[in-house]
């Protein structure tokens, strides 16, 4: 019998969803600073773990300040998924930063993943999905196993309620539902009515995901579906403040949005962490997309993004961004 209240307490109310290529440590740390209760890593290939891929350990590295965090894995073979789970759990314990859960990716829509029967392709193969979840749970023991899934492969094959039941029956401690089909990728239009149906069908916690870009979106998700928590992905890019905003709304408190200067300072703080983690060359380049998100709502953002794309050093980046923010502040005074 699962302790569902314990799991609800672990996940909290506001979760950072996994994002391949963008949900790195620096980004996660920023989200945690502004109130994310629970984090999920970028997706990690089970086969890459089993074959000792050199790039994979950084994806699985956990820092104390981002706990509790789940490590998300993807694959289509139960044996590899179980072996990878066992390895990740033990390595995180050895490092003194144990992962809070193993999350199984059944939602990634990209072709290079689904062509191997992984990610959202598993929505077409309930029997295999069940075997994977069961194998991972056996490898994890008492550690929670969660599953992130979509509504189905396409509009003609929506099967999320049955898949969620399969997940629970095979040991999942929670299910996160992205309210789109694989066919939709990330195009506008989520159908959160299915999250409500999943919530009504399961006894384990259900997490709602999809198109949460502000507190009102989150409140609507909670109200319309009865979900236990919400998971934010793209809505947190350049906007880690969304977690504080949602929490303030849930608690009936006033929320004060960041000033332009505070946005720039947080962008630089996040960039500094990325450089510390990956070196200046990679850190600056990988920060460009995040910096674009941080500045997109500010005056003159298009011009500053053009400059950022040609900057190679952190010192130059700081100089350009502080000059930019001073121009904004002077314009506001004038």
CA distances from 238 to 57, 143, 208, 297 (A): 26, 32, 21, 10
| Of 13, 72, 1, nearest in space to 215 by CA | 13
How far apart, in whole angstroms, are the C-alpha atoms of residue 298 and residue 254? 23
Crossing angle of the two packed helices 193-201 and 160-169, in degrees rounded to 10: 30
Say which of 31, 108, 140, 227 is annotated catalytic: 108
How far apart, in whole angstroms, are the C-alpha atoms of residue 221 and residue 131? 31
Residue 24: Cβ-neighbour burial (10 angstroms; 0-12, 13-18, 19+): buried
How far apart, in whole angstroms, are the C-alpha atoms of residue 328 and residue 325? 5
The token pair that represents 16 in the structure block: 């950072």
Residue 297: Cβ-neighbour burial (10 angstroms; 0-12, 13-18, 19+): exposed
Q: How many residues does the chain have?
A: 334
Exposure string over 123-144, b if 16+ CB within 10 A, otherwise e: bbbeeebbbbbbbbbebbeebb
Torsion sign, CA atoms 122, 209, 177, 287: positive
Our answer to whether residue 108 is catalytic in this structure is yes
Query: Catalytic positions, please?
Result: 108
């Amino acid at each position: 019998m699962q302790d569902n209240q314990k799991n609800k307490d672990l996940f909290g109310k506001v979760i950072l969803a996994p994002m391949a290529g963008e949900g790195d440590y620096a980004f996660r740390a920023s989200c945690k600073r502004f109130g994310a209760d629970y984090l999920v890593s970028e997706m990690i290939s089970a086969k890459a773990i089993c074959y000792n891929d050199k790039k994979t350990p950084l994806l699985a590295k956990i820092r104390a300040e981002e706990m509790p965090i789940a490590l998300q894995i993807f694959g289509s073979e139960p044996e590899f998924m179980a072996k990878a789970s066992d390895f990740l759990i033990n390595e995180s314990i050895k490092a003194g930063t144990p992962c809070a859960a193993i999350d199984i990716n059944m939602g990634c829509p990209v072709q290079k993943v689904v062509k191997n029967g992984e990610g959202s392709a598993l929505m077409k193969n309930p029997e295999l999905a069940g075997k994977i979840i069961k194998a991972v749970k056996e490898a994890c023991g008492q550690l929670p196993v969660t599953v992130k899934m979509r509504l189905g492969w396409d509009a003609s094959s929506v099967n999320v309620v049955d898949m969620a039941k399969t997940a629970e029956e095979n040991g999942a401690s929670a299910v996160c539902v992205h309210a789109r089909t694989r066919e939709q990728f990330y195009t506008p239009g989520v159908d959160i009515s299915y999250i409500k149906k999943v919530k009504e069908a399961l006894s384990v916690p259900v997490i709602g995901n999809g198109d949460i870009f502000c507190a009102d979106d989150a409140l609507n998700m909670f109200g319309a579906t009865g979900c236990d928590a919400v998971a934010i992905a793209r809505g947190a890019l350049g906007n880690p403040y969304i977690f504080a905003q949602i929490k303030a709304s849930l608690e009936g408190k006033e929320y004060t949005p960041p000033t332009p200067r505070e946005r720039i300072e947080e962008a630089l703080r996040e960039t500094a962490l990325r450089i510390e983690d990956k070196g200046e060359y990679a850190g600056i380049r990988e920060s460009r997309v995040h910096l674009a998100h941080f500045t997109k709502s500010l005056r003159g953002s298009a011009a500053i993004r053009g400059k950022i794309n040609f900057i190679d050093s952190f010192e130059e980046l700081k100089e350009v961004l502080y000059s930019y923010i001073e121009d904004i502040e002077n314009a506001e005074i004038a």
